Amino acid sequence: MSATWRQFFTYNKYTQIAARAVRQSLKENERLVAEKRGLTALRYQHWEDGKGGEQVHLNPPVDKP
């Protein structure tokens, strides 16, 4: 028997909704820690002759006050 949510959402969308609901139900301190775990940093590095160049952040990390 298929779950009811499957006719409306993909599994990834379902887990996103569930995770957001859990994070919103947390107290402020725990919520902030959980949100920081969800942040991603994207960077790349150009390699030449077996040596890595400078790492470039595509979305630099931003500290929220």
pLDDT at residue 5 greater than cutoff 50 = yes
Strand, helix or coil for residue 48: strand
This prediction has a pTM of 0.45
What is the C-alpha to C-alpha distance for residues 31 and 39, in angstroms, rounded to an integer?
13
What is the C-alpha to C-alpha distance for residues 45 and 51, in angstroms, rounded to an integer?
10
Mean per-residue pLDDT, 9-31: 88
CA 11 to chain centre: 16
pLDDT at residue 65 greater than cutoff 60 = no
pLDDT tens digits for range 47-61? 889 888 888 877 776
pLDDT tier for residue 36 given thresholds of 50, 70 and 90:
confident
- How many CA atoms lie within 13 Å of 18's alpha carbon, on the beta-carbon side? 8
Domain spans, the chain? 4-57
